[in-house]
Amino acid sequence: YQYLLKQSPMTFLSKGTLTLCLLAASAAIVSALDLELVTEEETVQPFDLWDSGSATLLVSYEDDAGHENVVQLANEMKKQGKKIKEKNVRLAKTQKVKGAKSAKEDKDKEDDKDKDGNGKGPKAGKADDRNRRLRMLQEDDTIASGFSIIEIESDDLAAEASLLGSLPGVTAVEQDGIMHIESMEYQQKLRGGGGLADHIREIQDAIRATAGEFPDDEVEFSPNLEGEDAADALHGRRLAQETPYGISMVNASYVNSKPPVMQDPIKICVVDTGYDLGHPDLPNQEQHNVTGWHKVNADGSTPFDKWDIDGNGHGTHCAGTIGAIGTNDFGVTSVNPDPSKFQFIIGKGLSDSGSGSNANVIDAVRECVNAGAKVVSMSLGGTGSSSITEAFYKDQYDQGVLIIAAAGNSAADSWGYPAGYPQVMSVGSVMESGSLSYFSTRNTQVEITGPGHSVKSTHKNNGYTTMSGTSMACPHVAGVAALLWTHFPDCTNNQIRNAMIHSAYEPPTTDARNTPGWDKYYGWGTVNAGSAYDLLSKGCEVAGGVTDPPGGGELSDLANGGKDQLNVGCTLDEHCDQSNPCLGTTQCISGTCEPVAGSAPVCDDNLKCTIDTCDPSKPYNVLTDLCVFTPKACENGNMCDGINDCDEETGNCYEKEPPVDCDDSNACTTDTCNPSTGICSNTDLTCNDNNACTLNDTCDLLLGCIFEEPQQNCCGNAQCEAGETESSCPVDCGTSLTTSFDTSIANRVELGPIFDIKTKSKNVTIAGFDLNCNVPDGIESKVFVYSLPGGRYYDNGRWYKKQLWDLVHESSISCNGFGTPTPVTLAESVTVPKESKHAFFIYIYTDSAATGYWFYKSMYPPAGKTARYSTLDEDSYLEIQTGSGSYCISGFCAITSPRRPAITINYAVINDSPTTPPTINSMPSTPVPTYTPTTKPTPLPTTLEPTPVPTAMPTPAPTSEPTDMPSSAPSESLAPTPFEPVKVTVSSPATSSANIVYSFYFDVKGGTVDSVLTNIKVTTYASMQEIKVFAKRGTGKQSEQIPCDWQLVAETGNEVTGYWKKLYPNWTNGFEPVELFAGKKISLYVVSTGKMLAKYAGSSSLKYKPHFSTPSSSPLPGIKVSYASYGKRELFKSYPSHYSSRSFMGALDLETVAPGSTRSPTSAPTGQFSTNQIESVDAGTENTYLGIQFDVQATEAVILKKLDLHVAEGTHFVEVWYRTGSHKGSSPGCDHHNNWCNKWTKAVGGTIVSSGQDTLTSTPEVTIVMSAGDTFGLAVVFPQSGLVASTSTVDATDDVLTIKSSGSQINDYYGNEVNTIHDLDSTSITFKGKIEYDLVNSICALYSAQNGVLSDVDDVEPDVTEDNVTNPNGPVGDGDGAGGPMDGEEPMDGMGDGFDSLS
């Protein structure tokens, strides 16, 4: 990632006078949406690719031999010419390297609850950030004694990682990640949330501070002054010292009034962007021994600058909160105001841009700890975790170091690191009122909060500023930890940590999210130094638990973090008190907090239309008084969406009354519905194309607006130059300019050129280009031409700012091969005024899934013309200048160094008047013919029978004003020639952003004539997927989850698709045509196992309402495509009706049909089942067990419905589980019923009553779908022994289903806790009883069964920001670009701020 954070330089001359220099190249802040991809010839300073960590690997090793193998391989690579560096990090103690996910985080994400036990977990569908980067683990929980940081230049990083991972003694290989500061100011600018508006506000603040708006004694020292100006301002107008609100909130003054016990200053490390050494309000080197570390390359260079220089200001701000001098009567004070009591060690882990690599941060922490730091403050984070990095922080914890980090600013349930590691104390943010800051990240690792909203502190250049973020909260907590340690030096890091938790402020009770104890918003509360001091005064173990970990363990064994931090290491019951009756009572037993059985209420009213929760704030006599039962809300408040209610039997919301349909079937009205009243309004449509050269703009009731052809010679004429011959109006005489270029020696290839032209004394019209291009045979391709008035394509990054360019041409292209010119004639010429510059960006793009083609040749410029904008070739009117080549599949993301394009520019010179150059309408291409109906179409029929098609196509619109009324349409006898269908493609509107969907439903309404749908194009966003298309007659509104209403018309295998690819899928058996009758609707349902793109459209009331249509000029006019409803990956599983709508992104191919050629619609398949049962073979000895696992095999598609069991007399609770494949498993670590690797699925659980083991007792009904040839493992589980099984060794079969003998008995009840591995008895037993099943006789029935086995749909619509992606790569809004991440399935910006947007 390359971030250029450029700020406007400001110089203050005197009071009342302010000079601002806003440089065009640096005034705007480059946001995360404007990232440059660096080519091999383009670099960006100061954070270049080599030092950024993007080509860095962490390689952990088991012992010295493993490290020697890594070093040896690195040396061999270096000898082969590879650029590679190795740095060794030796751990103080050997550590275990965990897998890609820890069991703790899995559990936390599955059961991420508030303190009342009823909170929601992280949002479904969110990809796990841990799996986004390259990661290889040889074996879980292997021992690591250290790791190497490998910086490597490689074309195939995965191959290099695989090679390193294969070395003996290497335990894990991981790609390094990106870290960034956690201030809101930084992240808003990177997201474009602040940008120039923030800049302007900063300038305005500076003006107010210096322009005499306040009395002199109120003007603060400006943070923008430097050098002598800064010194003069500081000494000339010094303010009285200010105590920021956060210092008072954490109650630091109470502790500072007590004499410290520690004799030597405690060492505090701040890992950040550096330190403004010399700031008058911060400790210095001479008096206070401030020291630090920064990265130094082998050649002595410092890629991120030195530790004592903070070009960002963020690190200085954090350091000021911890230790700004409080005894100097000016500036601000801090948590530790006496610099003689502590020593700063500064680790420059991040660059001045605010970002850096994880490896560099590790280096900074390591150097700090080696220098004696006891507390490490890290106001930074990133989205990806690392098992090697976690082992590193665990090692620091075992050395007694307390590491504190910012939780993140995602304003959502998400995970950031290093705060997400249990050995790191995660800090959230509160405002001055004590309430949670809106941006603070929420998860089960959040442990404590601190003041982080509008915090004032020191800043770079001897200044002060106010900033917000968990970055600001973190140093408050770190400062308190250091302050407490100076008074209680004998306490361990874990005791200081726990003491801060036990003594934390309870957040405001007015916040509904807060309940006593821990929650994911505030953690355990807000840090309180005074209360922690009083608690620690009673003893370290009383305040913070045990000193020595039980069983001779390590300190890290006591570090669970977040909500679980207090579960281990207690010494008193008070350590376990959660102060929350909803969670029950917890006692300290043998150093562990254990819940007391039956002390927590069970809130369940057995009603499916209520939401059952527990309210700890309610008064109660018995525990169930705390329960709250809230009716499920099915209405969304929009009267246009109809009336919804809750089904008491299923708990699902259903449509009681349908949505309001405001469509009046009049194309000349805009139909809307008032959401407050549900009343329709139909507003007349105004047809005006704002073109003075077209007459009689009208509206047709069925077709909508109709616009005539422009009048000839309407827009002005031009005159010829002397000696030239006028060919057509308004162009005078055409000419061309070709670069001096021998294509046979061209040595560079790219996707197209980008270059400037410059006109001379005449206005010039660009009519087209001759390109030197080649596209392999059989590959369909397009050419796009973009235009930029004013030229200078490279300045200010214009080459990647697509919004600045105009798309002037888009068409298919068939290249003639390198060396033979391929003409591209612009449909509408581009006029360039005299004596001006203009830039063009041309590139060739293919829809093919293959993307490895380079279509265009160029070469390096000749000597003396290598600089951009050098004149390459010229004539009397025009010059071509040195440009570049596109290296990105769709232009706007990467370019080459200067290039000489192989191109001919075809142009015409026009006279100097009129002043405004005329629009070129007639040159050089023939206008595309348009069509208007000669007679008013027949009204839409009221039945489903197709309306007869017109007997001939409408005649083209006249090219001049007609003198007579048009004749009526010809009869069939006038058209004796054979019928030739006309093909029409209906494409979705242009868009440059979209949302990920898995399936969608939409309607297509026929136009004025019958037609047939022959293919569909979709936009994909996944590398591999299967796609199915279903169709039905009428609207899909009422049939979204009803499989038997639909007919399968096309499907693919598991095909390579790609990111942001608009393509025709490779249908396995072709696309079955679907008839579209005039005025009638069909509905399409498109579903994928991967990801597709659709556009967020807003209100749910738009679903199935018209979205786009074919124009009146089309051979198939009036076809309307609706907005879409959307659903899940699973077949026929849609989201609830109140979810917002989407708009289909793609195209439909249709053809006209001959009169009378349409067929009756094929009926959709219907469900057919036949019920059967199979009984086990009665043989062998019988006994009772806790449960059994056994296999069943199917020769045909079946649906298992229930199991009839022999059970001991009485009431029992039973669970039925299933998995694909044998119950004995085949994957390593996945044997038997181990759900840890997600092999088993719970089918049902419930109570059954048996009258005795000689009779059959049925389980609750299940729905387990088996395809022909499947083997499934089944598990039947009881809490206590009661299931009868036998020792029979005979299989039972009925030629459809086989019950296999040799099952496995279950010796312990595990119920819902199957995520723990249990050993099975080796003795074989066999299922005894019957299995009832349905034989599936149609694909409709199979879909119905699969639909029924799925869980209910969500109640709450996912946040659209989660799946929002943008496409800067294709033409504006075209969706044809190939944008997307290159190493994962999810859009990712690497910033950890909760916003996953692709740029």
DSSP structure string for 724-768: ----SSS--EEEEEE----GGG--EEES-EEEEEEE-SSEEEEEE
Provide the residue type at 1203 as one letter.
L
* pLDDT at residue 1061 tops 60: yes
Q: For residue 742, what pLDDT is reported? A: 55
Which residue of the set 180, 279, 314, 1233 is catalytic? 314
Q: Which of 795-799, 1096-1100, 1335-1339 has the lowest mean pLDDT?
A: 1335-1339
- pLDDT band (50, 70, 90) for residue 972: very low
Provide the residue type at 482 as one letter.
A
- pLDDT band (50, 70, 90) for residue 1251: very high
Q: For residue 516, what pLDDT is reported? A: 76
| Through-space distance between the first and last CA atoms of the chain, rounded to whole angstroms | 11
Q: For residue 98, what pLDDT is reported? A: 66
Work out the mean pLDDT of the chain and round it to a whole number: 76
Tell me which of 120 and 490 has the higher pLDDT. Answer: 490
Q: For residue 941, what pLDDT is reported? A: 29
Q: What percent of the chain has pLDDT over 70?
A: 72
Assign 1218 to helix, strand or coil: strand
* pLDDT at residue 633 tops 60: yes
Q: For residue 845, what pLDDT is reported? A: 78
| 101-105, 133-137, 196-200, 1110-1114, range with greatest mean pLDDT | 1110-1114
| 436-450, 1055-1069, 1148-1162, range with greatest mean pLDDT | 436-450
For 123-174, write each residue's pLDDT tens digit: 333 333 333 456 666 566 778 899 999 998 888 888 888 889 889 999 999 9
1193-1222 residues labelled b (16+ CB within 10 A) or e (exposed): bbeebbbbbbbbbbbbeeebebbbbbbeeb
Q: For residue 1025, what pLDDT is reported? A: 87
- pLDDT band (50, 70, 90) for residue 474: very high
| 6-20, 811-825, 1365-1379, range with greatest mean pLDDT | 811-825
* pLDDT at residue 46 tops 70: no
Can you give the pTM of this predicted structure? Answer: 0.46
Which residue of the set 334, 379, 437, 471 is catalytic? 471
Which residue of the set 272, 305, 310, 770 is catalytic? 272
User: Which contiguous run of DSSP H or E holds residue 1306?
Assistant: strand 1303-1306
Task: Tell how far CA 37 is from the center of its chain.
Answer: 20
CA 624-625-628 angle, to 5 degrees, is 90
Taking Cα atoms as reference points, which of 719, 776, 768 lies closest to residue 913? 719
Q: Which of 1166-1170, 1265-1269, 1332-1336 has the lowest mean pLDDT?
A: 1166-1170
Q: For residue 32, what pLDDT is reported? A: 27
- pLDDT band (50, 70, 90) for residue 498: very high
Q: Which of 435-439, 969-973, 1119-1123 has the lowest mean pLDDT?
A: 969-973
How do beta strands 375-378 and 402-406 pair?
Answer: parallel
Q: For residue 694, what pLDDT is reported? A: 61
* pLDDT at residue 1151 tops 50: yes
Count of other CB atoms within 10 angstroms of residue 1028:
19
Taking Cα atoms as reference points, which of 38, 212, 120 lies closest to residue 1355? 120
- pLDDT band (50, 70, 90) for residue 864: confident
Q: For residue 397, what pLDDT is reported? A: 96
For 393-434, write each residue's pLDDT tens digit: 999 999 999 999 999 998 889 999 999 999 999 999 999 999
How far, in Å, are 259, 700, 1152, 1263 from residue 463 at the CA level? 31, 68, 73, 68
Q: For residue 964, what pLDDT is reported? A: 38
Burial class for 1312, CB neighbours closer than 10 Å (0-12, 13-18, 19+): exposed
* pLDDT at residue 38 tops 70: no
* pLDDT at residue 1318 tops 80: no
* pLDDT at residue 1077 tops 70: yes
1099 and 1140 Cβ atoms separated by less than 8 Å = yes
| Catalytic residue list contains 288 | no
Ramachandran quadrant class, 266 (left: phi over 0; alpha: psi -120 to 50; beta: rest): beta
| Catalytic residue list contains 471 | yes
Q: For residue 1397, what pLDDT is reported? A: 26
- pLDDT band (50, 70, 90) for residue 840: very high
For 262-306, write each residue's pLDDT tens digit: 889 999 999 999 999 999 999 999 999 999 999 888 788 888 889
Q: For residue 51, what pLDDT is reported? A: 36
Distance CA 266, CA 530 (A): 19
- pLDDT band (50, 70, 90) for residue 188: low
User: Which contiguous run of DSSP H or E holds residue 796?
Assistant: none
* Residue 652 in tokens: 């699902």
Q: Which of 849-863, 920-934, 1029-1043, 1142-1156 has the lowest mean pLDDT?
A: 920-934
- pLDDT band (50, 70, 90) for residue 959: very low
Q: For residue 866, list its beta bridge partners.
A: none
Distance CA 363, CA 396 (A): 12
Taking Cα atoms as reference points, which of 1105, 1125, 946, 1132 lies closest to residue 1046? 1132
Which whole number is the average pLDDT over 1067-1086? 92
For 345-382, write each residue's pLDDT tens digit: 999 999 998 988 999 999 999 999 999 999 999 999 98
Tell me which of 518 and 497 has the higher pLDDT. Answer: 497
Which whole number is the average pLDDT over 706-723? 48
Q: Kindly provide the residue ranges of all beta strands, DSSP E only, lying in 389-506, ordered along the sequence.
A: 402-406, 424-430, 446-451, 455-459, 463-467
Distance CA 283, CA 337 (A): 10
* pLDDT at residue 383 tops 60: yes
Q: For residue 139, what pLDDT is reported? A: 61
| Catalytic residue list contains 14 | no
- pLDDT band (50, 70, 90) for residue 1026: very high
